Amino acid sequence: MKILVTGGSGFIGSSFIRMLLESKDFFVVNMDKLTYAAKGKNLEHMKISDNKRYKFVHGDICDSRLVEKVFEEEKPEIIFNFAAESHVDKSIVNSYLFEKSNILGAGNIFRSAIEHGTKRVVQISTDEVYGSIKKGSFFEEDKLNPSSPYSASKTAAELIALSYHKTYGFPVIITRSANNYGEYQFPEKLLPLFITNLIDGKKVPLMWSTENPGLNQRDWLHVEDNCRAIWFVSQNGDDGEIYNIPGENERTNMYMTQLLLDQFGFGEEMIERIEHRKGHDFRYSISGEKLKDLGFIYNHLDLKEEIGKLVEWYKNNSDWWRPLKK
């Protein structure tokens, strides 16, 4: 089987490709434009880039001619569209790049897949499309209420994909994942930024106010469980369906910060209090009942143990992350 992974050089995409090549007998084509988030050369560091069942195509999914060429030459049977701009703060500063890549680029993938009769496309989305929720959890059929240009662009891509399913029978599945963490995450996100700062004895920037002292809540999903779940629904899910992938580890940002400080033997004097970003969602929470009903089982639910392992990984792989922080 030949699989096309777009955005496969980033954090989640590279973990997904590693999983496929290590556990399945597939040929994987990775199409990535190599933005700043791919500067760590994850697949090279994983020693996967020279695998005979792996091919890299340098390019942007916004280039419709190149997308069409890849489909004509590679003839992928399944496509996983990870390619996206994903940093919320950057989307607030400049939304254009997010609208272009996450909406127009995704549309290029969808149209080429329809034209070439691709068996299945999995559109990778986010729990942020629901917006914030005070109590309970969002289910797949609930109203979407994105708060940032990033989450709005991912919502738009979902709606386009679903409209193509209704109009053309487009064989798409959508996954909405919780907040991922794990190895090879670019050190702009909370955990890798805080861990690498603490390794260097620097303070960690926690969003804080008198009314909200770091109490924003996220559901922490190990990237390996996310990748396994994405593959699982691609094989067991139904076309036109949406599947939430929660982490089943809802914690406040303050809790996660304290967890890291404890790992390093530091106190709260290492916290630098910064202002909350615009439209900062207070709490994300999604139900995973639909995923569990399919039979999916998690492997990485012990958050304290996994964070301990992650801290050790960053300590032992400074050659990967240190150049990215310069």
- At 190-209, the pLDDT tens digits run 999 999 999 999 999 988 67
255 & 306 share domain: yes
Average pLDDT, the chain: 93
pLDDT of 300 > 80? The answer is yes
**213 in the same domain as 306:** yes
- Do 76 and 155 lie in one domain? The reply is yes
Residue 281 pLDDT: 73
In angstroms, what CA-CA distances link 131 with 35, 55, 122, 178, 188? 27, 37, 22, 12, 22
- The 8-class DSSP code of residue 286 comes to B
pLDDT digits (tens, 9 = 90+) for 39-62: 889 999 999 988 999 999 999 999
Q: Hey, what are 152's tokens? A: 């709005």
Residues in the chain: 326
User: How far is CA 280 from each of CA 144, 147, 149, 219, rounded to the nearest angstrom?
Assistant: 16, 8, 12, 15
pLDDT score of 217: 87
Amino acid 203: pLDDT: 96
Does 288 reside within a domain?
no
Residue 91's pLDDT is: 72
Confidence (pLDDT) at 86: 66
Residue 213 is predicted with a pLDDT of 67
pLDDT of the residue at 96: 79
User: Would you say residue 290 has pLDDT above 70?
Assistant: yes
Given this model, what pLDDT does residue 62 score? Answer: 96
- Residues with a known catalytic role: 127-128, 150
Same domain, 53 and 192: no
The answer, yes or no, to whether residue 245 has pLDDT greater than 80, is yes
Please tell me the predicted confidence (pLDDT) of residue 172. Answer: 98
Q: Residue 94 pLDDT more than 80?
A: no
Statement to judge: residues 119 and 254 lie in one domain: no
pLDDT for residue 32: 96
User: Looking at the structure, do residues 137 and 237 belong to the same domain, yes or no?
Assistant: yes
| pLDDT of 37 above 80 | no
In a domain, 289, yes or no: no
pLDDT at 242: 98
Domain that holds residue 110: 2-180+220-245
Q: Please report whether residue 71 resides in a domain.
A: yes
Tell me, yes or no, whether 317 lies in a domain: yes
- For residue 111, what is the domain's CATH number? 3.40.50.720
Q: How confident is residue 38, by pLDDT bands cut at 50, 70 and 90?
A: confident
**287 in a domain, yes or no?**
no
Tell me the residue ranges of DSSP E strands in the chain.
2-6, 27-32, 54-58, 78-81, 120-126, 172-177, 179-181, 204-207, 217-222, 242-245, 250-252, 271-274
230 and 137 in a common domain: yes
pLDDT above 70 covers what percent of the chain?
95
Q: What is the CA radius of gyration of the chain?
A: 19
Per the structure, the count of domains in the chain is 2
78 and 44 in a single domain? The answer is: yes
Whether residue 109 sits in one domain with residue 80: yes
pLDDT for 175 equals 98
Task: Examine the pLDDT at 27 and tell me if it is beyond 80.
Answer: yes
Residue 99 domain-assigned (yes or no)? yes
Q: Render pLDDT for 70-80 as a digit per residue (tens, 0 to 9).
A: 999 999 999 99
293 domain-assigned = no
Q: How far apart are CA 15 and CA 205, in angstroms?
A: 27
165 with 193, same domain: the answer is no
pLDDT in tens, 137-185: 999 999 999 988 899 999 999 999 999 999 999 999 999 999 999 999 9
Same domain, 234 and 191: no
What's the whole-model pTM score?
Answer: 0.94
Q: Is residue 104 part of a domain?
A: yes
Which of the four pLDDT bands, split at 50, 70 and 90, describes residue 279?
low
Q: Are residues 119 and 26 in the same domain?
A: yes
The pLDDT tens digits of the residues spanning 125-138 come to 999 999 999 999 99
Q: What is the pLDDT of residue 98?
A: 86
pLDDT of 315 strictly over 80: yes
Residue 308 sits in a domain whose CATH number is 3.90.25.10
